[in-house]
Structure 1
Amino acid sequence: MNAKHHYVKIVEWSDEDQCFVGSCPGLFYGGCHGDDEKQVFAELCEIVDETITLYERDGKLLPPPTSGKDYANKMLSVV
């Protein structure tokens, strides 16, 4: 499996910014934003790919994977 599939990618609406915001917790801080949810997700996937490429090029270990942790259901139980 490709390393990019090991990281959770989140796109959510931000009332504060009035746009969609994409992030990949655990891999990098920040992310991307825009008015089109699908475009934000596509851009987020590109950023994830680029980040992993930089880690590999620099010989750095990738952060621990965030996928497979069932975060969605864990967040629901917090409410």
Structure 2
Amino acid sequence: MNYHYSVVIQWSDEDQCYVVSLPEWGEFCHTHGDTYEEALQNAQEVLELLVESAVEDGETLPEPLTVGKSFQVA
């Protein structure tokens, strides 16, 4: 898979794990992991499933956010 989607990994004190957001796929698209590495691996697996499902269903893939599109560096 060679897509350039965003993965945001943050520690959650409430959940006591790393929570992962996949912004291009909507505000409710999350996964998690007990370690940073596990959270990243889970994110990669979820992204693969999302892309595979969208392609199979003939849906348009979301456009990846890139530095120039997602935020401005000061």
For normalisation by structure 2, the TM-score amounts to 0.78
Other-structure match for 1:43: 42
Secondary structure at the counterpart of residue 60 of structure 1: coil
For normalisation by structure 1, the TM-score amounts to 0.74
Q: Where in structure 1 are there 5+ consecutive unaligned residues?
A: none
Separation in structure 2 between the aligned mates of residue 27 and residue 43 of structure 1, nearest angstrom: 15
Number of residue pairs matched?
73
TM superposition outliers: structure 1 runs of 4+ over 6 Å? none
Q: Where in structure 2 are there 5+ consecutive unaligned residues?
A: none
Q: Amino acid of the residue matched to residue 55 of structure 1?
A: A
Separation in structure 2 between the aligned mates of residue 31 and residue 48 of structure 1, nearest angstrom: 10
